[in-house]
Amino acid sequence: TIVGSYHNSSKLKLKRGSPREEFPCLDGNYTCMAQVLDLHMYTRQFNRATESGVIFDDIIRPGLEDPGPLAVGCLAGDAQSYILFCTFFDRVIEAYHSYKVVPHVIQQSDLNYDNLKGGDDFDHIYAVSCEVSVVRCVEDYCFPTHISRGERRELLTVAKEALAQLSEEFPGKLYSMDELNEEMKDKGIIMDAPPPSLMKIGVSRDWPDARALWVSEDGTLAIWINMEDHVRLVSSRNDANVQEAFAAVCVNLVKLEALYKKLRRPFVWKPHLGWVVSSPAELGTGMKASITVRLPHLAAHSRLRGLLSRLRLRMEATDVYKLSNVESIGLTEVELTQQVVDGVKLLVRIEKRLEQDDCFDDLLPAQK
What pLDDT, on the 0 to 100 scale, is given for residue 5? 43
- The span from the CA of 332 to the CA of 274, in Å, is 10
* Backbone phi and psi for residue 25, each to the nearest 5 degrees, phi listed first: -75, 125
Assign residue 210 a region (left: φ > 0; alpha: ψ between -120 and 50; beta: otherwise): left
Check: pTM over 0.95? Answer yes or no. no
Q: Where are the alpha helices (DSSP H) in the chain?
A: 19-22, 32-36, 39-46, 56-65, 81-84, 86-97, 149-169, 177-185, 196-200, 242-262, 296-299, 304-311, 333-355
Buried-exposed string 244-271: b where 16+ CB fall within 10 A, e elsewhere = bbbbbbbebbeebbebbeeeebebbbee
Distance from the Cα of residue 168 to its chain's centroid? 28
What pLDDT, on the 0 to 100 scale, is given for residue 265? 98
- The span from the CA of 5 to the CA of 51, in Å, is 8
- Is the four-CA dihedral 116, 134, 74, 76 of positive or negative sign? positive
What pLDDT, on the 0 to 100 scale, is given for residue 305? 87
- The span from the CA of 341 to the CA of 335, in Å, is 10
Q: Which of 363, 350, 361, 366 is nearest to 123 (CA)?
A: 350
What pLDDT, on the 0 to 100 scale, is given for residue 37? 97
Residue 136 near residue 251 (C-beta atoms within 8 A): no
What pLDDT, on the 0 to 100 scale, is given for residue 182? 78
CATH 3.30.590.10 correct for 113-363: yes
Q: Chunk the chain into consecutive blocks of 10 residues (it has 368) and report each block's average pLDDT, rounded to whole numbers.
A: 43 81 95 96 96 96 85 96 97 95 94 95 94 98 97 98 96 91 64 78 91 93 96 95 97 97 97 97 97 90 87 86 95 97 94 83 68
How far are the Cα atoms of 122, 241, 294, 299 from residue 291, in angstroms, in the given order? 10, 9, 10, 15
What pLDDT, on the 0 to 100 scale, is given for residue 12? 58
- Is the four-CA dihedral 252, 254, 175, 262 of positive or negative sign? negative
**Virtual CA dihedral for 187, 175, 276, 115, nearest 10 degrees?**
60
How far are the Cα atoms of 67, 288, 289 from residue 131, in angstroms, in the given order? 27, 8, 6
Counting Cα atoms < 13 Å in the Cβ hemisphere of 348 gives 21
109 CB-near residues (< 8 Å, 6+ apart): 274, 285, 332, 333
What pLDDT, on the 0 to 100 scale, is given for residue 192? 66
Amino acid making up residue 152: R
| Domain boundary assignment for the chain | 3-97, 113-363
Q: Which of 321, 313, 309 is nearest to 289 (CA)?
A: 313
Per DSSP, the three-state class of 226 is coil
Residue 306 near residue 364 (C-beta atoms within 8 A): no
Q: Which of 285, 342, 282 is nearest to 312 (CA)?
A: 342
| End-to-end alpha carbon distance in the chain | 38
Task: Kindly report the number of other CB atoms within 10 A of residue 107's CB atom.
Answer: 21
Kind plus residue range of the DSSP H or E element containing 313? strand 313-317
Angle ∠(33,37,39) on CA atoms, nearest 5: 155
CATH topology of domain 3-97: Transferase Creatine Kinase; Chain A, domain 1 (1.10.135)
- The span from the CA of 325 to the CA of 130, in Å, is 13
